[in-house]
Amino acid sequence: MIIKIDSDRAASYAIKTINGLSYDPPMQVTIEKFKRKRTQLQNQSLWAGIISDFVEQGFVGGRLYNAEIWHFFLKKEFLPELPNPEETLPGYQKWTEMPDGSLKLTGSTTKLTTIGFMNYKEKCYAYGCELGIRFSTKERELNEIT
């Protein structure tokens, strides 16, 4: 159970919940600074802006790639390699080791904090600029709608 404590009422609820816990089996309570998960709007802006521009302009080896390929490639290149409290949420893992010792990309932007997601997007922008992509205003327009 996760309780976000952002008011006196939430703190009272947390204390009441802890007081009501049983000791069998023993329980563990962890208190840590709240980390905001990347938002749905951030994710929409990634697809409507950055990835869309990669699909339309991201020539590599003389060819274009679809959105799913770019999304996978950008995650492989720019997601944080290791968990860190500033950028990732608990449970973040970029790679999963397979039985044959190979690594499979299992990391997701859903396990990034809002700061981690902003850093991820900046790396994607920088790479796109290296490819000569001129980023559109689609992302900014999406942000203005909400």
- Cut 0.85: pTM above it: no
Q: Which is higher by pLDDT, 114 or 145?
A: 114
Domain boundaries, the chain: 1-33, 35-145
Mind listing the pLDDT tens digit for each residue in 16-26? Answer: 988 988 888 88
CATH architecture designation of domain 35-145: Orthogonal Bundle (1.10)
Q: What percent of the chain has pLDDT over 70?
A: 92
> What is the overall mean pLDDT for the chain?
88
How many whole angstroms separate alpha carbon 53 and alpha carbon 128?
A: 9
Question: For the segment 24-35, what is each residue's pLDDT rounded down to a tens digit?
Answer: 888 888 887 777
Q: Encode pLDDT of 59-84 as tens digits.
A: 999 999 999 999 999 999 999 999 99
Question: In sequence order, which residues have a C-beta less than 8 Å from that of residue 91 and are 6 or more positions away?
Answer: 111
3-state secondary structure the chain: CCCCCCCHHHHHHHHHHHHCCCCCCCCCCCCCCCCCECCHHHHHHHHHHHHHHHHHHCCECCECCCHHHHHHHHHHHHCCCCCCCCCECCCCCCEEECCCCCEEECCCHHHEEHHHHHHHHHHHHHHHHHCCCCCCCHHHHHHHHC
